[in-house]
Amino acid sequence: MEFEHISRIEQASRKGSGEILRLGVALIYVIGTMLFAARVADGENAIILAVAAVLGGYMAINIGANDVGNNIGPAVGARALSLGVALAIAAVFEAAGALIAGGEVIGTMRTGIFDTAQIVDREALIWSMLAALMGAGLFLNLATAFGAPVSTTHAIVGALLGAGVAAHGAHVVNWQVLVTVLVSWIVSPLIGGAVAAGFLYLIKRRILFQVDMVGAAIRTVPYLLAAMSFAFSSYLLMQGRARLLEIDLVDALGIGLAAGVVTFFVARPLVVRRGRSIANTRKSVNRLFTLPLIVAAALLSFAHGSNDVANAVGPLSAIVVELTDGGAMRSAEAPVPFWTMLVGALGICVGLALFGPRIVRTIGSEITELDQMRAFCVAMSAAVTVLIASALGLPVSSTHIAVGAVFGVGFLREYLVGNQARMIAGIKAHHPEADQEAIEAFIARFSAAGAMAKGEMLRELKEQSRQQLDPANFSKSERRQLRQVYREEVVKRSQIRRIASAWLITVPASAMFGSVMFFAIRGMMLDLPTP
Taking each helix axis as running N to C, give the angle between helix 213-239 and helix 372-392, from 0 to 180 degrees, rounded to the nearest 10. Answer: 40
CB contact at 8 A, 36 and 338: no
Q: List pLDDT tens digits, range 118-136.
A: 666 778 888 888 999 999 9
pLDDT for residue 11: 58
Report the distance separating Cα 378 and Cα 401, nearest Å: 9
The alpha carbon of residue 212 and the mean position of all alpha carbons in its chain are separated, in whole angstroms, by: 34
CB contact at 8 A, 152 and 63: yes
pTM: 0.80
- C-alpha distance from residue 194 to each of 226, 384, 490, 518 (Å): 20, 11, 17, 40
Report the distance separating Cα 141 and Cα 161, nearest Å: 19
pLDDT for residue 364: 87
pLDDT for residue 479: 46
pLDDT for residue 423: 62
**Residue of 332, 357, 342 whose CA lies nearest to 116:** 332
pLDDT for residue 321: 79
Report the distance separating Cα 188 and Cα 384, nearest Å: 11
Three-state SS string across 356-416, please? CHHHHHHHHHHCCCCCHHHHHHHHHHHHHHHHHHHHHCCCCCHHHHHHHHHHHHHHHHHHH
Phi and psi, residue 526, nearest 5°: -70, 145
Which residues, given as ranges, of the chain have pLDDT below 70?
A: 1-17, 41-44, 101-120, 239-246, 325-335, 393, 420-489, 526-531
> Residues near 284 by Cβ (< 8 Å), separated by ≥ 6?
214, 278
> Residues near 413 by Cβ (< 8 Å), separated by ≥ 6?
200, 368, 374, 490, 491
